[in-house]
């Protein structure tokens, strides 16, 4: 598999990307956009493994991963929902323009899955098919849970606070308000349901399987329940199952 790092520099943004291909071709009819979850980055092992399987089976495909704002190598310090949307738009436009994609797919995890769904509601669906793993649903609550108890009063007074793991980022009440306003559980995805696949672990410690079931049922979306899996799909067998399922879902026969 060939790997190339690149930046999409446009409109004052610099989106740090990783392009993974099965050939040396400069253009690809099918491109899978991969997005990571909160605290992750474009170089995480799960994305690498998915790209290896996708480009191994469909050698002409490309996988395009990127760092969300404030993640990985991204230069931004404060997380804002509007900028997350802009990053996703720039990556999709790059896949279509620079890479020549006729079909753009999306494989997203956790926070990335939430952002993908929220983007689709706000701007329409640019993807041929969408696969979502461990989908973040009540994202306002999940993000608030990342704030330390000592910082909650600061947040409520309108001040910025820091959250994160190895890398810290700033958030404020405006972000939480924006996440609440974009609660994907309140939106309808019927028109795209046939092209959406959800995967969720029955032992997800952050987003209970019951939440995923309710969202999938309400929108007539296929849900693959992975028995015993946690939020991160840490068990290699569970991760392999998820990747295999998504690769098959993205097969050319299923456009």
Helix H, strand E, coil C: the string for 160-209 is CEEEECCCEEEECHHHHHHHHHCCHHHCCCHHHHHHEEEEEECCCCCCCH
Over residues 46-63, the mean pLDDT reads 97
Residue 182 banded pLDDT, cuts 50, 70, 90 = very high
Query: With 90 as the cut, is the pLDDT of residue 252 above it?
Result: no
pLDDT at 134: 98
Of all residues in the chain, the percent with pLDDT exceeding 90 is: 96
pLDDT at 254: 41
pLDDT at 253: 55
Both tokens of 251, joined, read 């097969």
Over residues 103-125, the mean pLDDT reads 98
pLDDT at 156: 87
For residue 13, how many other CB atoms are within 10 A of its CB? 17
Residue 255 banded pLDDT, cuts 50, 70, 90 = very low
Give the C-alpha separation, 228 to 88, whole Å: 31
Over residues 93-119, the mean pLDDT reads 98
How confident is the prediction for the chain on average, in pLDDT? 96
Tell me: the pLDDT tens digits for 142-172? 999 999 999 999 998 989 999 998 899 999 9
Distances (CA, A) of 181 to 117, 214, 219: 13, 19, 19
């Amino acid at each position: 598999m060939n790997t190339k790092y690149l930046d999409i520099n446009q409109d004052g943004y610099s989106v740090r990307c990783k392009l993974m291909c099965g050939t040396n071709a400069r253009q690809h009819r099918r491109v899978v956009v991969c997005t990571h979850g909160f605290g992750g980055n474009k170089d995480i092992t799960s994305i690498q493994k998915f790209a290896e399987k996708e480009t191994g089976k469909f050698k002409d495909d490309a996988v395009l991963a990127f760092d969300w704002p404030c993640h990985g190598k991204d230069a931004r310090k404060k997380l804002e929902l509007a900028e997350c949307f802009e990053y996703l738009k720039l990556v999709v436009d790059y896949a279509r323009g620079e890479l020549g994609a006729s079909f753009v797919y999306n494989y997203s995890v956790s926070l990335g899955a939430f952002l993908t769904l929220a983007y689709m509601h706000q701007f329409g669906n640019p993807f041929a098919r969408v696969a979502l793993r461990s989908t973040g649903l009540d994202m306002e609550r999940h993000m608030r849970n990342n704030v330390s108890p000592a910082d909650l009063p600061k947040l409520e007074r309108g001040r910025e606070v820091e959250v994160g793991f190895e890398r810290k980022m700033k958030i404020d009440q405006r972000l939480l308000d924006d996440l609440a306003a974009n609660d994907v559980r309140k939106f309808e995805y019927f028109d795209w349901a046939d092209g959406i696949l959800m995967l969720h672990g029955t032992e997800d410690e952050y987003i209970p399987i019951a939440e995923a079931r309710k969202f999938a049922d309400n929108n007539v979306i296929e849900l693959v329940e992975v028995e015993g899996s946690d939020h991160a799909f840490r068990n290699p067998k569970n991760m392999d199952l998820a990747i295999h399922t998504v690769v098959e879902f993205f097969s050319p026969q299923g456009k």
